[in-house]
Amino acid sequence: MKAYRASLLNFDDEGQPQFESDGLLVVGPDAQGSQVIRAAGNWQALHADYAGVAVEHLPGRILAPGFVDMHIHYPQTDVIGAPAPGLLPWLENYTFPHESRFADGAYAAATAGFFLDELARNGVTTALTFSTSHPASVDALFGAAQARGLRLITGKCLQDRHSPDGVRDDTEQSLIDTESLIRKWHGVGRLGYAITPRFAPSCTDAQLAGAGELAAKHPDVWIQSHVAENLDEVRWAHELFPDARSYLAVYEGFGLMRERAVYAHCIHFDDEDRALMRATGTAAAVSPTSNLFLGSGFFDFEGADRVGYLHGLASDVGGGTSFSPFHTMLAAYYVGREGQTKPGLSLSPGRLWWLHTAGAARALGLEGVVGNLRRGCDADFLVLNPQATPLLARKTAQARDLAELLFSMIVLGDDRLIERTVIAQAG
C-alpha cells in the first residue's frame, strides 16, 4: 500500500464535487491484486488507520480523478488542425487519406505510443477511442495500452462503402475480424472492445446488421459510432435510409442502441431522439472543440438534461483541437450558453468536471470503476499543481470557494496543470 497526503477532489453520488483540503488517499491491491483506492478522506480522520503505510506528502497539490475521454481517434493525432468547410470534405481530403497509413502495423504502433503518452501528459487515464479499419491498428493500440496497464477501449472501424481504397473494408471479413479482435482483447486486463461502425453512411445494411448481431452476442462489449453531427451528413443519412424515422433510429433498427453504446456528437436531435437515447441507455459523447472547429453545431445540454439521457465529454481529436480536458471543459462552457431557454450561466464548473470524470464513467457503464477517488475505484489519479503558471497561482490563490477554484483551473488550465498522472499498476 501507499498513501498520499494532499488536497482531494472527488464527487458524491449526486455528482456534486467534494473537496478535502487536507486529505489522505490510500492505494493498494484489492482481493484480485488490482491496484485500487483503499481509502480517500480527511487526513486527521484516516491517518491513524494507516499508520504503517508510507505517505508521500504533497503540500499545495490537489489529487483528482484521472479524466475519462469518451470519444477520440488515436489515428487522427496528426490530423488535428486540418481546415475544411465541414465534416464531409474534412473526412475525404484529410482524414481518410491519413488513416490509410495505419495498414502498416509499425506506423500504427509508433503513433499509438505517442498518443498514449499524450493522453497521460494531459491527465486522461481512460479513453474510448476509434482505431482505423485495419485490424493491425487495433492490435497496435491494445498492445501499447497493455504494456502501460491502462484502462482503454477501442475497436476496428467498420466502413464497407462510401470510403476510398485504403480504408474501405470488406463486409464479411470486417465482421470476422471484429469477432476475432473481441476474443483476443476484450476483458484482457483492463482492455475493452468496442464494435465500431464508423457512421451509418459508411456502412451497408449488411455490415450494420452484422454489427448488431455481434453486439447481441457480446452484451458486455461497447459500441461506438457517430450520429447527427453535421447537417450535410444528416441529409445524406436520410437519403440512404429513407425508411428510418431519424438518423439515430437507423442504429436502433440494427440493434446498435443499448447500454455501453456511445454515439459522438448527437447535435441535430429532436426530443424523440433524446427519448430513444434514454429508453435504450445509450450515451452521447459531447465533443465541443470538434464541433466548434468543424462548424458542426452546438450540443443541447439543456435538452439532454430535460429528457435525461447519459452524456459526457470527449475531445474527438483530430476533429477536436486539443487533448486537454481543460480545453474541452471550457469549450463545453461556451457551447452550454447556446440556445438556452433560460438565459444565465452555462454549466457549472463542478458539472463540467463531473462530465469529464465520474459522469463520463457512468455514461460508459464504468461508474465506481474509474473517474472518481472513492474506495474500490481503479487507482488512476492526477497530481494537480494549481501554481503551475504565474497566472494560475495568482488566480487560484484568490478562489473563495470550490466553484471558483475549479473554474480557475478550467479556464486557465492545460497540460502544465498536470504535475503527475498515476496509473494503477497490476498487482
Q: Which residues bind Zn ion (CB under 5 A)?
A: 264, 316
Count of residues in the chain = 427
Q: Least distance (Å) from ligand GUN to the CB of residue 77?
A: 12
Q: Least distance (Å) from ligand GUN to the CB of residue 51?
A: 52
Q: Which of residues 189-218 bind ligand GUN (CB under 6 A)?
A: 198-199
Q: Which SS3 state, helix, strand or coil, does residue 192 take?
A: strand
β-sheet bridge partners, residue 36 = 28, 378
Residue 95 interacts, among ligand GUN, Zn ion, none and using kind-specific CB cut-offs from 5 to 8 Å, with ligand GUN
| Largest CA-CA distance found in the chain, in angstroms, rounded | 67
Amino acid making up residue 312: G
DSSP summary character for residue 156: P
∠ at Cα 213 (277, 252), nearest 5°?
25
> DSSP per residue over 338-380, as a string?
TT-SS-S--S-HHHHHHHTTHHHHHHTT-TTTSSS-STTSBS-
Among 35, 129, 163, 290, binds ligand GUN (CB under 6 A): 290
Name 153's Cβ contacts closer than 8 Å, sequence gap at least 6.
126, 127, 128, 129, 191, 192, 193, 194, 222, 364
Q: Least distance (Å) from ligand GUN to the CB of residue 321?
A: 12
Q: Least distance (Å) from Zn ion to the CB of residue 198?
A: 9
Q: Of 62 and 267, which has the nearer Cβ to ligand GUN? A: 267
Residue 311 interacts, among ligand GUN, Zn ion, none and using kind-specific CB cut-offs from 5 to 8 Å, with none
User: Per rule CB under 6 A, is residue 74 in the interface with ligand GUN?
Assistant: no
Q: How far is CA 372 from CA 11, 120, 335, 379, in A?
A: 6, 17, 25, 9
Q: Least distance (Å) from ligand GUN to the CB of residue 91?
A: 6
Amino acid making up residue 55: V
Q: Of 94 and 193, which has the nearer Cβ to ligand GUN? A: 94
Cα separation, 125 vs 103, in Å, equals 26
Residue 269 interacts, among Zn ion, ligand GUN, none and using kind-specific CB cut-offs from 5 to 8 Å, with none
Q: Of 47 and 73, which has the nearer Cβ to ligand GUN? A: 73
Phi, psi torsion values for 78, nearest 5 degrees: -95, 5
Amino acid making up residue 227: V
Run of H or E residues at 185: helix 171-185
Q: Which among 319, 360, 313, 317 is positioned nearest to 334, based on CA atoms?
A: 313
User: Per rule CB under 6 A, is residue 73 in the interface with ligand GUN?
Assistant: yes
Would you state the cell numbers that stand for residue 229, as one nine-digit string? 453531427
Q: Least distance (Å) from ligand GUN to the CB of residue 190?
A: 25
Residue 199 interacts, among Zn ion, ligand GUN, none and using kind-specific CB cut-offs from 5 to 8 Å, with ligand GUN
Cα separation, 341 vs 11, in Å, equals 28
Among 26, 63, 91, 203, binds ligand GUN (CB under 6 A): 91
∠ at Cα 5 (2, 9), nearest 5°?
105
User: Per rule CB under 6 A, is residue 95 in the interface with ligand GUN?
Assistant: yes
Q: Least distance (Å) from Zn ion to the CB of residue 205?
A: 22
Q: Least distance (Å) from Zn ion to the CB of residue 323?
A: 14
User: Per rule CB under 6 A, is residue 227 in the interface with ligand GUN?
Assistant: no
Site string (307-336) toward ligand GUN, x via CB under 6 A: ---------x--x-----------------
Residue 69 interacts, among ligand GUN, Zn ion, none and using kind-specific CB cut-offs from 5 to 8 Å, with none
User: Per rule CB under 6 A, is residue 69 in the interface with ligand GUN?
Assistant: no
Please answer whether residues 223 and 258 qualify as being in contact, where contact means their C-beta atoms are separated by less than 8 angstroms: yes
Q: Least distance (Å) from ligand GUN to the CB of residue 57?
A: 44
β-sheet bridge partners, residue 320 = 317
Report the relative pairing of strands 310-313 and 191-197 from DSSP bridges.
unpaired
User: Per rule CB under 6 A, is residue 169 in the interface with ligand GUN?
Assistant: no
Among 160, 169, 177, 229, binds ligand GUN (CB under 6 A): 229
Residue 198 interacts, among Zn ion, ligand GUN, none and using kind-specific CB cut-offs from 5 to 8 Å, with ligand GUN
Region of 87-95, 160-168, 170-178, 300-308 interacting with ligand GUN (CB under 6 A) = 87-95
Q: Least distance (Å) from ligand GUN to the CB of residue 146?
A: 25
Run of H or E residues at 112: helix 105-121
User: Per rule CB under 6 A, is residue 134 in the interface with ligand GUN?
Assistant: no
Q: What residues line the site for ligand GUN (CB under 6 A)?
A: 73, 87, 91, 95, 198-199, 226, 229, 290, 316, 319
